[in-house]
Homo-oligomer: A and B are copies of this chain.
Amino acid sequence: MTMYNILVTGVAGFIGSNLAKQFVADGKRVFGFDNLCRGNLSNLDSLQGNALFSFEEVDLSDLDAYKAALMQVMKTESISEVWHMAANSDIPAGISNMNIDLRDTFMTTTNTLQLMKEFSIRVIAFASSSAIYGDLGDAKLVEDIGPLFPISNYGAMKLASEAAISAAAENFIDRAYIFRFPNVVGIPATHGVIQDFIRKLKATPDNLVVLGDGTQQKGYLHVEELIDAMLFIRERACDKRNFFNIGANDDGVTVRYIAEQVVGTVSPSASISYGRGNKGWVGDVPKFSLSVDKLHNLGWKPKLESAQAVARAVKQIAEQEQSE
């Protein structure tokens, strides 16, 4: 009998660690790879010693190292599918140095595909992003909208990865799952606006300085719901290329709301100072509205609204930051 074994790349990261825990909880055998550059082994503490989980530190942008790690696994076990979560998650870093997204997002994808071909692994699930849509103004971002002109290297290398996966699906991949993430919040937080605000406030507890005027609005999904949605799609969708926006069921919340939640939780007496304009940094997309109708039609809806997801994550991340 072939076990149902899964490779999770970027397993020590925010999404990857939550995903691995869920797979293991579901009784699946998980092999986790991570370069531990942005991810952290401590995110996997609860899986240490679990016979269903193995970890290997490897740089997936290095094809030879990646192949060696995979061959080691394949000596005794088979892998049925790859959940490719490894990527750069720091959008601003990728603006100043385009090699970061190129290497950590795109080359890890092409290497994954190359090895899947070589080892005949035929199912891939990929963490894409709503950033592939770029700035389409007020348009409702349905999955088949165009044109696709990302405005950050982060979004560009996610789109490039989708393109490579799509071509592979014509060739040696049986089924591809492309999840276009919104902003995801929760723990273990490795980056993002909530963590930024909490850390700023720890440094200067009487005032929180916010980039931009705080009117920027986005939908937020809690990571627990994101995992649930991905597994739901994996179970139910059965096209060759399954591509879904995953997101909140509302128009989102403003940066102002997040700042207020953080202040309320961490340092209630602090004031908040806002900057000008509604872009925090180059490549950051102002208010947009991600359509999740396709996912609703498949049968999945989030239980938490953006505001609730953020509020919950603020409490969790504040706790995480305190214990560090």
Contact = CB atoms under 8 A, between A and B. Distances in A.
Interface in A138-154: 143-153
B163 A151 contact: no
Q: Main SS of chain A's interface residues?
A: helix
B149 A146 contact: no
B167 A283 contact: yes
B134 A150 contact: no
A57 to B, nearest CB: 25
Question: Which of A99, A156, A171, A243 counts the most B-chain CB atoms under 10 A from its CB?
Answer: A156
Given A98-B117, A149-B162, A151-B170, 5 more contacts: A148-B148, A149-B243, A157-B164, A167-B283, A170-B283
Interface residues of A, number: 40
A162 B110 CA distance: 17
A106 interface: yes
Contacts of A143: 146-147
B170 A164 contact: no
A241 interface: yes
B243 A147 contact: yes
Contact of A156 (B149, B153, B166, B241): B166
**What 7 A-B pairs are tightest by C-beta distance, nearest first?**
A146-B146, A160-B160, A156-B163, A156-B167, A149-B166, A151-B170, A159-B163
